[in-house]
Structure 1
Amino acid sequence: MLDWKYLVLVNAWLFSTFFFIPTEGTDARAYQGCGLASNKVYCYGGYTGYEPNTFVYTAATSDFFYIDLLNFDFKNVTAGADYWTPVSQPKNFVLEANSGVMVTSISNGAKLLLSGGFGKNNTILTNSTTIYDPQTDAWTAVPNTLPYYASSGVVVDVGDSELFAWGGLVNNTGMIVPNQITILNYATLQWSSFQTSGNVAYDYTATLAPDGRIYMIGGAQGNSLNTTGYYTSMTFITWFDTKTTSWGYDNATGQNVLPRKYHTANLVPGTTKILIYGGVQNSESSVMPVSDFIYFYDYQQKAYTPLSLQSSGPGPRSAVLYQSAKTGESYVFILFGYDNNIKLRNDTWVLNVTDVNSPSWLSASTQGPSQNPSSDDNGSAHTLSTGAIIGISIGSAVVGIGAAAFAVIWFFRKRKQRQEFEIQQMDPRHQSMDLPGGHDMATEFSSQPMTSVTSDDGSHTAYTQPSKIELYSDEAVRSTKPSPVSGPLLGLSKPHGAE
């Protein structure tokens, strides 16, 4: 079962307080993967180069470095310090250049699992899933028995040495993965998978809450093995109830919450509030951060509350949630990424979310960072303490809070014993689609039948295919340019059932 001392929340961004400190030692970057293990925050890879005239990031790296949490002091932050320490390249294992890698804390916070991503010059990875043990400084390649690996999906540690994965893109492409649930037993390094139906999500977040539901927020969705998808409305919250093994949805309230991907969503410990941070939207020439980049979403009240905290820019970043075992205070670190000037960052922000009614900057300064930073400033934060609960967020990976872990594990085992995974019956994403064997990969997502699912109030909603608004591929932020004749890879529309 999950160790409550190390609880990973992947693909969510928890905010309460940020602290800005300039640093010169560590290269600015975006689309790195970060996670926590053995009282250290580790970050891997990312893009460190950028072509400003083409909106193309270049030079994915295999950099691997950490911040030692035991040496952090929240009460004494030193401006200009760089607390990142590089990890030496292993002698018997090749670390591949990578960006967009999903990093998950496993084995009760003792190890890291790295999965997926876009390799050097957007090439396919040799080792698509690896495990790092900080205690022995050893790397292990996990054999992939599937014909592909997923990037831009989610990975959830559900306890008992099992990881749940669903959604994403095939390898280093813009093609949506086949629609199947994948389970990895990282103790035996064995994979199993279960076919399901419906739209496939990618670049979204999923947060497992103490009520036993996995809340899936934002991102995009589309037909399996297609290269056209649709943004999912942020007010249309899909959930899967691990206690009843049923799908449902909530129509959330919130004014003008922009659709987004590459955001994060972390549950604040001891509350019903999920902190939503960051995210981007595509335009014809770029991938820009959304302007409304920080909210609390209350899954009981089904409501968004915008926060008026300033930031250097809400681009894709890594976030680490930390709760002190001594004080019970909760902090969030925001790491690297790029800002609304499309400038790569090496700053670190620390947000105190202990009081969700009054989140506050951790720094002693009286002013938060500028919403429009200059082209010269970068930063890094440097205080932390050992703790009880730690969450990590990057891209679109997912992990949950541990109260519902037993129900999730029981459900997976029950389905595995029956050699089926019947989760589609109440799935709001449900639609007919061709299976991988006979699918015409040149056919774009077009129409779908009407379907109906149940909401919390017992009402039923039927919905059909919404209209499309073209939105261009996010290949511009990867290391190779999109083909000028390939057309849009992402369509924008209201999701099923949204107003």
Structure 2
Amino acid sequence: MLLSISRDIPDGRYELSSALINDKLYFFGGATNATNSSNEVFYLDLSSTFDIFTPPFKKVSVGMPVGDNLGTCVSSPDNSTIFLIGGRMTSTSTAVYKFDPINLQSTIPIINGFNDSFINRNEINAVIDSKGKRYIFSGTDYNSGNFTGGGNWFYEMSLFDTTSMTWSTLTLPTNVLPRLDYTATLLPTGLIIYIGGYTKLTPSSERSYANFDDILIFDTKSLSWSNKNASGTTIQPRYGHSAILIKDGNIIIFGGAQTSAQVYPDLAVLNTNTWIWSVPSNSTVNAPPSLNFHTANLYNIYMIIAFGRKTGQVVVKPYYYSNNIYIFNTETYSCFRHLMK
């Protein structure tokens, strides 16, 4: 599970975003080096079995109108549209693009009440509920180089209703701290689970890592915040990791880093009924290398891990950026060479 080879093989990259529409997994932008934000759009057709050595990448001939990294995207509930929001865009005229997976084109939607301060908001992660309302927590407006965590931090929750195309903003309660480079996972109960990343005690204080035994929760029904204390295996704090919700209601996290250093364990499972962390015993067999700012999506029973920056590297160079695909079976907690139908 080392090198991906295909006709449309993309360059290695990190800080990209991804969204699944039916059997197609789309990838948007990303940084291909310390200064370049790509505008490329690729997709994988997951409808047929493939080997990770030869993933069937296809490149969309006309990419996004702007380069983008450290943004976020999700598909609409009816799987007709992907909304790309925020990030370090190479244009400051908008922060939202609408991607049509049928004609493979991006357009700028008209949004009532849009908050202009959201332009260039980055280091964010969004979720969308079954009614088409999208929740985007905190973020920063830092927009230079590969350093993360600078600029202004935003003490707010942004709500984008993709059905009515309206935007609203909620100020955070004083006891809720902002975060960057976290993961956001929506449970069927309407709770959004925020894990890891950076946080700040005050706007002028130094950033620090959020502890994994302190789970921040937002209730989309009551628009209220709470915390849960998690126990079990000690999970080293990190940023730039990924998270998916699997069928049994548990959350799997993968990767992340502290500065450029690898964190342990690479893969862990949070039981959202007991709030206990655990590490599957066979999850390290043939496991992917440690990555951060990669993507992870759930397709059937498979966690598909793609791209990212290889951790444990002191100097940031292009060959530290992955263009590989890894397949993790969420039922057996093991890695596979093939995506099986």
- Bin the TM-score by the shorter chain: 0.7 to 0.9
Unaligned runs of 5+ in 1: 1-18, 50-56, 324-329, 364-381, 386-499
1:162 partnered with 2:133: yes
Aligned to 1:148, what secondary structure does the other structure show?
helix
Partner of 1:60: 37
Q: Supply the AA of the counterpart residue of 2:160.
A: L
Pair 360,140 (structure 1): closer, same or farther in 2 beyond 3 Å:
same
CA contact (8 A) 1:32 1:45 kept: yes
Alignment of 1:268-417 (within 5 A): 268-269=246-247, 271-282=248-259, 287-307=260-280, 308-309=283-284, 310-323=287-300, 330-342=301-313, 343-353=320-330, 355=331, 358-363=332-337, 383=339, 385=341
Decide which structure has the larger Cα Rg and report it: 1
Alignment of 1:467-486 (within 5 A): none
User: Distance between the aligned counterparts of 1:119 and 1:140, measured in 2?
Assistant: 15
Partner of 2:143: 172
CA contact (8 A) 1:167 1:176 kept: no
Partner of 2:178: 200
User: Distance between the aligned counterparts of 2:15 and 2:206, measured in 1?
Assistant: 22
1:41 partnered with 2:41: no
Aligned to 1:62, what secondary structure does the other structure show?
coil
Per-residue deviation, residues 246-266 of structure 1 (Å, max 9, x unmatched): 533222113431111111222
Unaligned runs of 5+ in 2: 145-149, 314-319
Pair 242,113 (structure 1): closer, same or farther in 2 beyond 3 Å:
closer
Q: TM-score, normalization: structure 2?
A: 0.84
CA contact (8 A) 2:139 2:178 kept: yes
User: Distance between the aligned counterparts of 2:52 and 2:30, measured in 1?
Assistant: 25
1:97 partnered with 2:73: no
Shift of 1:79: 6.2
Pair 107,139 (structure 1): closer, same or farther in 2 beyond 3 Å:
farther
**Of the candidates 146, 151, 155, which is equivalent to residue 122 of structure 2?**
151
User: Distance between the aligned counterparts of 2:218 and 2:209, measured in 1?
Assistant: 19
Partner of 1:393: none
User: Distance between the aligned counterparts of 1:89 and 1:224, measured in 2?
Assistant: 43
**Which of the two has greater helix per residue?**
1
User: Distance between the aligned counterparts of 1:80 and 1:209, measured in 2?
Assistant: 33
Report how many residues are paired.
318
RMSD: 2.5
**Of the candidates 122, 147, 160, which is equivalent to residue 184 of structure 1?**
160
User: Distance between the aligned counterparts of 2:276 and 2:182, measured in 1?
Assistant: 18
Partner of 1:127: 94
Per-residue deviation, residues 438-468 of structure 1 (Å, max 9, x unmatched): xxxxxxxxxxxxxxxxxxxxxxxxxxxxxxx
User: Distance between the aligned counterparts of 1:241 and 1:155, measured in 2?
Assistant: 14
CA contact (8 A) 2:256 2:290 kept: no
Shift of 1:21: 4.8
Pair 86,226 (structure 1): closer, same or farther in 2 beyond 3 Å:
farther
Shift of 1:302: 1.7
Shift of 1:62: 1.0
User: Distance between the aligned counterparts of 2:198 and 2:279, measured in 1?
Assistant: 22
Pair 176,203 (structure 1): closer, same or farther in 2 beyond 3 Å:
farther
Partner of 1:449: none
Percent identity over paired residues: 23
Alignment of 1:420-431 (within 5 A): none
Shift of 1:43: 0.7
Aligned to 2:211, what secondary structure does the other structure show?
coil
Aligned to 2:339, what secondary structure does the other structure show?
coil
Shift of 1:320: 1.5
Pair 298,331 (structure 1): closer, same or farther in 2 beyond 3 Å:
same
Shift of 1:81: 2.0
User: Distance between the aligned counterparts of 1:63 and 1:148, measured in 2?
Assistant: 25
Larger RCO: Structure 1 or Structure 2 (Cα < 8 Å, ≥ 6 residues apart)?
1
